[in-house]
Structure formats: structure tokens, C-alpha cells
């Protein structure tokens, strides 16, 4: 995931509590055909929700894992699994599970909100010890930190991505956006230019370069 910004935009921190970040499956309407496997999956997902509400996170993990095993493409099961791990302060496992939910359903807003919640609640920085060491994992963290206005953490996560994938224009772009958000215009310009050297047609990096150059010019005109 990359930071989509061409102007200074601050993100709010309206994060959802666990119970509000889960989805409950209602039983089928009368006369509606029931797929036995889907019914089992739905029951396991609902059990995970109920157990999280009771604070029984270990059993909630078991229930969510059961749903994910029966239906590996069920993003809701992974979202609930992540919330249960977070209830035990097992942040790396929570991040791994929420990333799987987001891979399965990139526009899953509850999973996106939960990622922000995890990053805001966990000690800084998250080690990602339980997450596969991929550039994509660190880019997800970079985006989450940016959304929480934790810009130096966002830069650090993007730099980790670059160590794993030196050709990641997205990582350089994230660094540019974070530096620009702090008014560190020279660093932002350098990072945006690095992104564009890897991908000259990268519109987000073009936008961030223009933002940083404009910010630097304005700062110079005001004598800052």
C-alpha cells in the first residue's frame, strides 16, 4: 500500500474498539438454502465475536482459525483473528492476520481501521517478528504509521521495505510523504526524486515532489 497524497492532509484517529470492528453473520432467512460448510464458517466467525466480547481471546483465536481453515479466503475470519490477537497484546500476530485480511479484501475498511488501531495501541516500534519479512509488510506498517501521524515511524518502516526491496518506488514515495508532512522539504524532495528515478510515471511521487518543492519555496519566501 502506498501513501496517496498530493497535498498536506492530516488523518484522524477515530479508531474502532474490538467489538465494533467485527462482523456478525445473521442466520439465513426462512426458506433460504443453507450451504453446510458456509454455515459452519459463519458459526465459527460468530463464535469468535462472542468470545472476544467475553474477553476470552485464546478461544476466540481458535474459533477464528477454524473459520479461516474451512474458508481460507474469508477476510472477516482473519480480521477477527487479528482482533483476538490484539486482545492478548500479541501485536506481530495481529499485524500478520490483518495483513492477510487486507490481501484478501483490499478495500476492507474494518481491517484498515484495525491496522490503525494496532499501530496506535502497540508499543513503538512494532518488531514485525511474527510477520513474513517482506517489503509489503513494512509498506503496510509505513502507511498505518502515516495515518496516525507517526511520521518518523512511517519513514523507518519504509526504510525497512527498501532494505528488502531496493527498487521499491512505493517505499521512497512513503518516505517523501512523511518528510513533507513534517515540513522537511529537502529530504522529501530527495525521496520523491528517488521514487521517480525508479518509476518516472509514478503519479503519487510526482504529486509529492510538487508538494515538497512548493513547500520549500514557500518556506524560503517567508524566511523560514
- The pLDDT tens digits of the residues spanning 155-206 come to 998 998 899 899 999 999 999 999 999 999 999 999 999 999 999 999 999 9
Q: Which residues contact 186 (CB under 8 A, 6 or more apart)?
A: 216
Instruction: Determine if the pTM surpasses 0.95.
Output: no
Q: What is the pLDDT of residue 13?
A: 26
* Per-residue pLDDT reduced to its tens digit, 86-136: 999 888 888 889 888 888 887 787 887 788 778 777 776 665 554 456 777
Lowest-pLDDT choice from 26-35, 44-53, 69-78, 156-165:
26-35
CATH architecture for segment(s) 19-25+34-132: Alpha Horseshoe (1.25)
The CATH superfamily assigned to 134-224 is Tetratricopeptide repeat domain (1.25.40.10)
Q: 5-23 pLDDT, tens per residue?
A: 332 222 222 223 333 344 4
Cα separation, 79 vs 41, whole angstroms:
14
Mean pLDDT computed over 14-39: 54
Establish whether domains 19-25+34-132 and 134-224 are of one fold: yes
Distance from C-alpha of 47 to C-alpha of 67, rounded to nearest angstrom:
10
- Round to whole Å and give the CA distance between 64 and 94: 12
Indicate the domain borders of the chain: 19-25+34-132, 134-224
Amino acid at each position: 500500500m502506498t501513501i496517496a497524497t498530493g497535498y498536506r492532509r492530516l488523518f484522524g484517529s477515530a479508531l474502532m474498539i474490538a467489538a465494533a470492528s467485527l462482523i456478525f453473520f445473521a442466520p439465513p432467512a426462512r426458506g433460504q438454502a443453507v450451504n453446510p460448510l458456509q454455515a459452519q464458517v459463519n458459526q465459527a466467525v460468530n463464535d469468535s465475536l462472542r468470545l472476544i466480547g467475553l474477553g476470552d481471546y485464546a478461544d476466540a483465536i481458535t474459533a477464528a482459525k477454524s473459520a479461516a481453515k474451512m474458508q481460507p479466503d474469508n477476510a472477516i475470519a482473519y480480521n477477527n483473528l487479528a482482533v483476538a490477537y490484539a486482545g492478548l497484546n500479541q501485536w506481530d500476530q495481529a499485524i500478520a492476520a490483518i495483513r492477510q485480511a487486507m490481501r484478501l479484501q483490499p478495500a476492507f475498511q474494518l481491517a484498515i481501521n484495525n491496522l490503525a488501531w494496532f499501530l496506535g495501541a502497540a508499543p513503538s516500534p512494532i518488531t514485525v517478528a511474527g510477520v513474513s519479512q517482506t517489503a509489503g509488510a513494512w509498506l503496510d506498517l509505513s502507511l498505518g504509521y502515516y495515518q496516525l501521524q507517526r511520521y518518523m515511524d512511517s519513514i523507518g518502516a519504509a526504510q525497512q521495505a527498501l532494505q528488502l526491496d531496493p527498487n521499491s518506488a512505493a517505499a521512497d514515495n512513503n518516505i517523501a510523504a512523511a518528510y513533507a508532512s513534517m515540513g522537511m522539504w529537502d529530504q522529501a524532495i530527495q525521496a520523491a526524486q528517488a521514487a521517480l528515478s525508479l518509476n518516472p510515471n509514478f503519479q503519487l511521487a510526482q504529486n509529492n515532489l510538487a508538494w515538497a518543492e512548493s513547500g520549500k519555496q514557500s518556506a524560503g519566501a517567508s524566511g523560514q
